[in-house]
Amino acid sequence: MLKPKAPETAAEKAATKLYEAHERRERFAPLPEGLGPRSAEEGYAIQDAFVALRARKLGPIAGYKIALSSPEMRRFVGVDMPQAGVMLRSQLRRSPARIRASDYVNLIVEFEIAVEIGEDLPAADAPFSRERVLQAVGAVMPAIEIADDRNADYSQLSRHPFELIADNSWNEGAVLGEPLRGWRSLDLGQVLGVATVNGRRVGEGRGEAAMGHPFEAVAWVAGHLASLGRGLLRGEVVITGSVITSKPAKTGDRIAFHIEGLGSAELSVE
């Protein structure tokens, strides 16, 4: 086990507990009394420290995810805003990709539109509109998010709504399709995505499921980072929220997500 440095702040102590729980493959549960986040701000402070520990093995920040992008999911968890997570370099895979189910406690996948940033969106430029984001987009592609809910009891999430932030929104990376740079002729709010598992259709959804438009989700992420004094940088990738409900993934599954006009992302689970 990678030994973290001795914790100093409350957030670092909480992150160390969280990191150790992941290493021991424990079920998702609230942090011990006195360490759990009481606000979104405390949740992101723990997330930062947790991501820093994981980055020692998994590489630097390469992108971001948005969680709870629909009003229904926010009501379910008991929050009034989406939540953000971080993706690290080694966790971003190009399609077709392979992963092992045994590397996760309880593997789930989501089906999203990914955006590659082509021009920095610095904190000083906040607030960000969809139009400003459009100018900064370099490429768009289908994505399959890889997540691990560690057998969470979903009925308990609303009792501890900021624990999901601390745990980096359960993200374990993403599989990215071929980047499309000639995306401007597409109505990304209306493109239809279809997910299949072992050749069987398991769901479909349109780009507007991501906060009305994928670029609205990117604008939210850029604004969130700006609130922390950070920018969304050229080359980073944002996955903009699932357009189809999450699906479990198990050994032997062949998972695909096709978006009209954008192509496909494919994942094999071993």
Read off the pLDDT band of 55 (50, 70, 90): very high
pLDDT in tens, 12-54: 999 999 999 999 999 999 999 999 999 999 999 999 999 999 9
Residue 4 has pLDDT above 60, yes or no: no
pLDDT in tens, 134-180: 999 999 999 999 999 999 998 888 889 899 999 999 999 999 999 99
Residue 3 has pLDDT above 70, yes or no: no
Give the H/E segment covering residue 172: strand 171-176
CATH tag for 10-269 (out of 3.30.2010.30, 1.10.238.10, 3.90.850.10, 1.10.1200.10): 3.90.850.10
Look over the chain and give the mean of its residue pLDDT values, rounded to a whole number: 94
Helix, strand, coil: what percent of the chain each, to 5? 30, 30, 35
Q: Are 267 and 168 in contact (CB under 8 A)?
A: no
Q: Are 242 and 94 in contact (CB under 8 A)?
A: no
Domain residue ranges of the chain, discontinuous segments joined by +? 10-269
Higher-confidence residue: 244 or 68? 244
Cα-flanking dihedrals φ and ψ of residue 180, to 5°?
A: -105, 115
What integer pLDDT is reported at residue 79 of this predicted model?
76
pLDDT in tens, 214-239: 999 999 999 999 999 999 999 999 99
Pairing, β 171-176 against β 92-94: parallel
pLDDT in tens, 94-104: 999 999 999 99
pLDDT in tens, 71-84: 776 777 777 788 99
What integer pLDDT is reported at residue 40 of this predicted model?
93
Read off the pLDDT band of 7 (50, 70, 90): low
Q: Which residues of 224-244 are buried (b: 16+ CB within 10 A; e: fewer)?
A: bbbeeeebbeeebbbbbbbbb
